[in-house]
Amino acid sequence: MKGARLAAWVVVSVLCAPGTGAQDQPTFATGVEAIRLDVLVTNRDEIVVGLGAGDFEVRDNGVLQDVTLVSAEELPLNVILALDTSGSVAGEPLEHLRTAARALIARLEADDQAGLVTFSHEVELRERLTGDFSRIGNALALVEPEGETAVIDGSYAALMLGETDIGRDLLLVFSDGVDTASWLTREQVLDAARRSDVVAYGVSVLGTEEPGFLGRLTQITGGSLFEVESTRDLTSAFVGIFDQFRNRYLLSYSPQGVAPEGWHRIDVKVKNGRGLARVRAGYVGGPSR
């Protein structure tokens, strides 16, 4: 079983595993469940801190909402790493990747969790979300780069792994090249991202074409794309992403004045020109239960 058939089989195996199935993609019962927004505020590329709920204006399908500010420190983090382990990362780049991943994991706290997905021409669930961070390091040590690149399939598997009702979900996708082996289409994965509350960040190497996909994935989920000169810069990129995520605001509101079902566009503004807000594009509402 090779090529696209193998990639397809592995993706289906990952996604159909308990707790990671595509059928578990969330919808939100508007009017019943609160909508949670992970918001990054910047001003001239500097992160803005110290804001309160009253500094934000949130609109759901154009309707102004009453929001509260949740203490992000009260919720644990779920960090999902989706790492390119195709043949192009063999040798020194793999050591750079391992070092960067371990540096990020070292910043997690006792209540946090981490998971690991790797992708080449195959997608492998190396570790489900776990609080035993040594398992991530051990899994990374066993990686043997080979084959082509299925960043689209790998991103989808990682998105599904990140779906949880507890904690804040950060997805970090690294790839150093173009997608040559995915079975799923870009639009399928981007549609799944629109239905998720996972915040995705991407890291790519300058000069590759793949930022087209990673750029759209991060924009839809409210994250950012970091481009590095070489894999030597991965540690600073990974740690920078984690620190940026820690400084995001967590807003919550119960939708009022909007239909419960369908696509809900979210618009967030910071009052008095104090900064620009970056947030996921929206969510899919479901019938009230």
For the chain, 289 residues long, give each residue's pLDDT as a single digit of tens: 333 334 444 454 444 444 444 434 444 333 447 999 999 999 998 999 999 999 999 999 999 999 999 987 778 999 999 999 999 999 999 999 999 999 999 999 999 999 999 999 999 999 999 999 999 999 999 999 999 999 999 999 999 998 766 789 999 999 988 899 999 999 999 999 998 989 999 999 987 655 689 999 999 999 999 999 999 999 999 999 999 999 999 999 999 999 999 999 999 999 998 999 999 999 998 764 3
**Residue 119 to residue 143: CA distance in whole angstroms:** 10
Region of 91 (left: φ > 0; alpha: ψ -120 to 50; beta: rest) is left
List, in sequence order, the alpha helices (H) in the chain: 3-15, 92-105, 134-141, 151-162, 186-194, 211-221, 234-246
Residue 110 lies in a domain: yes
14 by DSSP, 3-state: which? helix
Residue 123 lies in a domain: yes
What's the confidence (pLDDT) of residue 123? Answer: 97
Same domain, 212 and 254: no
Quick: pLDDT tens for 229-272: 999 999 999 999 999 999 999 999 999 999 999 999 999 999 99
Same domain, 41 and 133: no
Residue 13 lies in a domain: no
What's the confidence (pLDDT) of residue 226? Answer: 94
Residue 4 lies in a domain: no
**Residue 149 to residue 126: CA distance in whole angstroms:** 17
Same domain, 225 and 265: no
Q: 131 near 113, Cβ under 8 Å?
A: yes
Contacts for 145 with CB less than 8 Å, ≥ 6 apart: 85, 86, 87, 88, 89, 90, 94, 120
Same domain, 147 and 231: yes
**Residue 204 to residue 226: CA distance in whole angstroms:** 7
Same domain, 233 and 267: no
What's the confidence (pLDDT) of residue 166? Answer: 79
What's the confidence (pLDDT) of residue 10? Answer: 46
Domain span holding position 280: 28-73+248-286
User: How many domains does the chain contain in total?
Assistant: 2
Same domain, 156 and 45: no
| CB-based burial label for 279 (10 Å; 0-12, 13-18, 19+) | buried
**Residue 150 to residue 59: CA distance in whole angstroms:** 36
Same domain, 95 and 222: yes
Q: 163 near 25, Cβ under 8 Å?
A: yes
Full-model pTM: 0.88
Same domain, 225 and 131: yes
